[in-house]
Amino acid sequence: VNHHSDDDCIFCKIIAGKIPSFKIAETDYTYAFLDIQPLSKGHALLIPKHHGKTLLDVPEEYLADLLPLAKKVAKAVTEEEGTGKEFNVLQNNGPLAHQVVQHVHFHIIPKPNKAEGLG
């Protein structure tokens, strides 16, 4: 698949391997990796390999691929030591909604069940 990308986008650079990341999983349409400033241990991001700013810009085939992978990633990161089985899925669209990186992404944020955990 030849994906639409933006040369100036940090997440497109991560997909292309031009910026290093800690990869969790990958499909033809989706890339999953650890957030560089985790809100809790295992905080993951899923991004469509298609560059688009918000959810409204993502073609259906990318969305259809992303959610099953989100389920697998959520299972994997909540099985990490020090995290609970519970988690939030968060997705910000636009600056008023606290979107900082202008390439659509889904956060998976484990809720730690130990006193020493963050968040």
- Which residue numbers are catalytic? 105
Instruction: Beginning with the edge strand found earlier in the chain, give each strand of the sheet holding 44-48 in spatial order.
Output: 23-26, 30-34, 44-48, 106-110, 87-90
Minimum distance from residue 43 beta carbon to ligand 5GP (Å): 7
Examine residue 10 and tell whether it contacts ligand 5GP (CB under 6 A): yes
SS (H, E, C) 5-63: CCCCCHHHHHHHCCCCCCEEEECCCEEEEECCCCCCCCCEEEEECCCCCCHHHCCHHHH
Candidate residues 1, 56, 100, 115; the one interacting with ligand 5GP per rule CB under 6 A: 100
Examine residue 17 and tell whether it contacts ligand 5GP (CB under 6 A): no
Minimum distance from residue 92 beta carbon to ligand 5GP (Å): 4
Instruction: Using the minimum distance from each CB to Zn ion, give the nearer residue, 31 or 87.
Output: 31
From CA 87, how far away is CA 77, in angstroms rounded? 9
In the list Zn ion, ligand 5GP, none, the entry touching 33 (Cβ below 5 to 8 angstroms by class) is ligand 5GP
- Tokens representing 119 are 């968040």
Residues near Zn ion (CB under 5 A) = 6, 9, 11-12, 51, 103
Residues near ligand 5GP (CB under 6 A) = 10, 19, 21, 33-37, 92, 98-101
